């Protein structure tokens, strides 16, 4: 009797090359956009699948993992995996994979672009033109902050933090950083980066404060009202890490009261919802979680997750699957 083919649930449409690869190895079921952002929808079907390729917005909870009696692996279409109850997965011998490294360059480019958009008021200036208000060059129109000679403070000096630092150095910025562990001296020298020992010191001395850290118990609401109180009034906040690292309401109030000068935000505390005060905040560029949104990167993310799934389903040893958590 032929062995039954494994079944994989992909919670949302992803690049076709990834889907074609997976279809060569298993029966594939692809959810509609947003369908599996609800735990109840996942609970209704998860017991039918041997593998799950999910998004950061997919709630892979204890209940889901306990009901997934056939699950062998959960692969996240993301570097982060705070949406997955990893402890429960391990207790059920369900492998968990993420997609590190492949989105570093795209996110480094994006962070630099986001910073430029905020400091030079791209959104406001474009709206001004589209609204028919542009009548000619203005000597005081949309003045922004030059980056040369300014200090970029990075919280989280991993691969993406370092990629942003490399680009900022090319713009003539000075680099300081805080990290859970100090990076090796040769990496500091390559970036001409200075280490500081606390978030508060970094926040109070940076012209631009960038968040490039994972979401953990220690980083939840790391940036809150107390931090906005000590940031220079001309400073800019950039967040492409995880939404809950920032207290969103506190950020909105800091912008409305000019405690800081602007923000570039790609991730949100209650994603996909955005705090209404933030939606009306001045000089704030808000984008829908697109830091890794290039054709090349999204396909690479998918292939890394897909290869982990196929490797586990084929019974390969864990040491041969580099992106298992």
User: How far apart (Å, rounded) are the C-alpha atoms in residues 264 and 286?
Assistant: 6
Class of domain 7-101+295-320: alpha beta
Catalytic residue among 242, 247, 298, 307: 242
User: What count of residues does the chain have?
Assistant: 325
Q: Is 242 a catalytic residue?
A: yes
- Where are the domains positioned within the chain? 7-101+295-320, 104-286
Per-residue pLDDT at 104? 96
The tokens of 214 are what?
A: 């994972």
Catalytic residue among 25, 120, 221, 289: 289
Class of domain 104-286: alpha beta
As to burial, measured by CB atoms within 10 angstroms (0-12 exposed, 13-18 middle, 19+ buried), residue 63 is middle
Model pLDDT for residues 170-222, shown as the tens digit of each residue: 999 999 999 999 999 999 999 999 999 999 999 999 999 999 999 999 999 99
Per-residue pLDDT at 205? 98
Q: Is 289 a catalytic residue?
A: yes
Residue-by-residue DSSP string for 85-152 = -HHHHHHTT-EEE---STTHHHHHHHHHHHHHHHHTTHHHHHHHHHTT---S--TTTT-----TTPEE
Mean pLDDT by 10 residues, the chain (325 residues): 79 97 97 96 98 97 98 96 96 97 96 98 96 96 97 97 98 98 97 98 98 95 98 98 97 98 97 96 97 97 98 95 94
Per-residue pLDDT at 3? 56
User: 3-state class of 48 per DSSP?
Assistant: helix
Model pLDDT for residues 261-302, shown as the tens digit of each residue: 999 999 999 999 999 999 999 999 999 999 999 999 999 999
Per-residue pLDDT at 2? 42
User: How far apart (Å, rounded) are the C-alpha atoms in residues 309 and 72?
Assistant: 9
Per-residue pLDDT at 248? 98
User: 3-state class of 21 per DSSP?
Assistant: helix
Residue-by-residue DSSP string for 251-312 = HHHHHHTTSSSEEEES--TBTTB--HHHHT-TTEEE--S-TT-SHHHHHHHHHHHHHHHHHH
């Amino acid at each position: 009797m032929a062995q039954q083919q494994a079944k994989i649930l992909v919670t949302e449409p992803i690049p076709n090359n990834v889907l074609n690869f997976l279809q060569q190895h298993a029966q594939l079921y692809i959810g509609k956009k947003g369908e599996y952002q609800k735990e109840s929808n996942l609970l209704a079907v998860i017991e039918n699948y041997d593998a799950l390729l999910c998004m950061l917005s997919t709630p892979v909870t204890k209940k889901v993992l306990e009901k997934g009696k056939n699950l062998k692996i959960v692969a996240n279409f993301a570097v982060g995996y705070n949406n997955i109850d990893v402890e429960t997965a391990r207790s059920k011998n369900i492998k968990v994979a993420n997609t590190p490294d492949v989105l570093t360059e795209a996110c480094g480019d994006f962070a630099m672009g986001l910073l430029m958009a905020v400091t030079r008021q791209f959104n406001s200036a474009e709206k001004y033109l589209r609204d028919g208000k542009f009548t000619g060059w203005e000597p005081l129109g949309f003045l922004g902050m030059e980056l040369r000679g300014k200090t970029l403070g990075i919280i989280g000096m991993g691969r993406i933090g370092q990629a942003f630092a490399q680009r900022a150095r090319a713009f003539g910025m000075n680099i300081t950083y805080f990290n859970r562990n100090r990076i090796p001296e040769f990496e500091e020298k390559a970036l001409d980066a200075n280490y500081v020992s606390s978030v508060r010191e970094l926040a109070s001395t940076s012209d631009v404060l960038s968040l490039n850290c994972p979401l953990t118990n220690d980083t939840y609401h790391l940036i809150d009202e107390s931090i906005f109180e000590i940031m220079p009034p001309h400073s800019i906040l950039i967040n492409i890490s995880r939404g809950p690292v920032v207290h969103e309401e506190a950020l909105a109030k800091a912008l409305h009261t000019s405690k800081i000068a602007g923000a570039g935000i790609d991730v949100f505390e209650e994603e996909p919802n955005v705090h209404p005060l933030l939606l009306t905040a001045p000089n704030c560029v808000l984008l829908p979680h697109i830091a890794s949104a290039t054709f090349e990167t999204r396909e690479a993310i998918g292939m890394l997750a897909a290869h982990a799934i196929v490797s586990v389903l084929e019974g390969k040893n864990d040491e041969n699957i580099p992106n298992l958590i």
